[in-house]
């Protein structure tokens, strides 16, 4: 199964009877899945169908779905509401005998709300049903294109993440081979520090000092952190290879990478090892940023 990005864009369009329609889908990063739809009046029943279909193929990302529908070959007509007009004329005639007023004009009467009505063409049930089926099928088409684009983006992200894993592995091997982390180098540095302390004061207990030195040497060893980094690299490569919706798990793994690298930097008392740790931290951050785009 391929990796998928959470970002993508797709369109589909078509016609059915007097209707012309177009879907536009756009997806962006999100912690979970959310479908936000904008449908024209009278087409709300499509939301349930579209939402069900989208949840079957997508697990993360916010998807914005916009539908536009135009009806051609169907002109609206204008008519006079005779009942309303007659009522107004009767009232005008009654008032004419009571007050001095100018007789109502045609344009004045037409300006009164309710006298002129815009009549929409009657709907054809068979045409409308066929149009809804066609629009639903067009949503499937756009959704398929969106998924395909997200997978293409996911393939590219997978290549980038694999490169980052290779860089982290190289830096971990460099830290492993650093002269400063070898036991003899650690002992030499501790011996220098202890000698300096003994020269400055004669109140140190040599046995206790030796115990403290051993503890310091143990704390300075990053063997455990390097082993965990190697394990994380193996897990990350396995997830990237299997694909699917692994974004959350890789994000958690990126946090674990960061934790181990920070510990390596804090334990290091060697400049070369510290610099290697900082390089590794930078690559881990690049890895984490790319993982944020994965489904």
For the chain, list the domains and their CATH numbers.
8-73+124-151 (3.30.230), 77-119 (no CATH), 154-291 (1.20.140)
The two tokens of residue 39 are 């449908």
Share of the chain above pLDDT 90, in %: 56
Sequence-distant (6+) residues with CB within 8 A of 173 are: none
| Alpha helices (runs of H) in 58-124, residue ranges in sequence order | 82-96, 106-111
pLDDT for residue 104? 75
Give residue 176's pLDDT band: very low, low, confident or very high (50, 70, 90).
Answer: confident
Which of 87, 60, 44 lies closest to 6 in space, CA to CA? Answer: 60
Q: Give per-residue pLDDT as tens, 239-293.
A: 999 999 999 999 999 999 999 999 888 877 778 888 999 999 999 999 999 999 9
90 class by beta-carbon count within 10 Å (0-12 exposed, 13-18 middle, 19+ buried): exposed
d(CA 53, CA 253): 31
Q: What per-residue confidence (pLDDT) applies to 150?
A: 97
Higher pLDDT, 229 or 178: 229
**pLDDT at residue 156, rounded to an integer:** 96
Give the pLDDT confidence of 80-102 residue by residue, as tens digits: 888 887 887 887 777 776 776 67
Residues 52/61, Cβ–Cβ less than 8 Å: no
Per residue in 51-88, pLDDT tens? 999 999 999 999 999 999 998 765 567 778 888 878 87
Choose the weakest-confidence range: 41-50, 120-129, 234-243.
120-129
Mean pLDDT (the chain) is: 86
Residue 199: pLDDT above 90?
A: no
* pLDDT recorded at residue 177: 83
**Residue 188: pLDDT over 70:** no
Rounded Cα distance between 84 and 51, Å, is 45
pLDDT at residue number 91: 79
How big is the chain, counted in residues? 295
pTM: 0.73
């Amino acid at each position: 199964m391929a990796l998928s990005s959470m970002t993508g864009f797709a369109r589909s369009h078509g016609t059915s009877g007097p209707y012309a329609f177009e879907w536009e889908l756009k997806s962006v990063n999100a912690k979970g899945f959310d479908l936000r739809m904008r449908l024209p009046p009278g087409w709300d029943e499509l939301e349930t169908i579209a939402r069900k279909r989208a949840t079957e193929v997508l697990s993360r990302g916010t998807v914005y779905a916009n539908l536009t529908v135009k009806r051609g070959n169907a002109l609206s007509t204008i008519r006079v509401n005779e009942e309303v007009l007659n009522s107004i004329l009767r009232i005008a005639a009654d008032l004419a005998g009571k007050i001095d007023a100018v007789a109502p004009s045609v344009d004045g009467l037409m300006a009164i709300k309710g006298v002129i009505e815009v009549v929409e063409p009657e709907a054809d049930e068979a045409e409308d049903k066929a149009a809804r089926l066609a629009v639903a099928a067009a949503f499937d088409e756009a959704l398929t294109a969106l998924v395909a684009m997200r997978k293409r983006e996911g393939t590219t992200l997978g290549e980038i993440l694999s490169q980052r894993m290779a860089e982290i592995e190289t830096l971990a091997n460099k830290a492993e081979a650093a002269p400063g982390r070898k036991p003899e180098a650690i002992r030499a540095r501790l011996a220098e520090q202890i000698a300096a302390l003994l020269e400055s004061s004669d109140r140190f207990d040599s046995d206790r000092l030796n115990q403290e030195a051993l503890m310091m040497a143990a704390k300075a060893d990053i063997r455990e952190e390097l082993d965990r980094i190697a394990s994380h690299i193996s897990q990350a490569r396995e997830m990237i290879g299997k694909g699917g919706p692994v974004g959350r798990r890789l994000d958690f793994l990126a946090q674990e990478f960061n934790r181990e690298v920070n510990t390596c930097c804090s334990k290091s008392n060697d400049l070369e090892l510290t610099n290697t740790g900082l390089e590794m931290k930078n690559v881990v951050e690049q890895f984490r940023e790319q993982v944020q785009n994965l489904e």
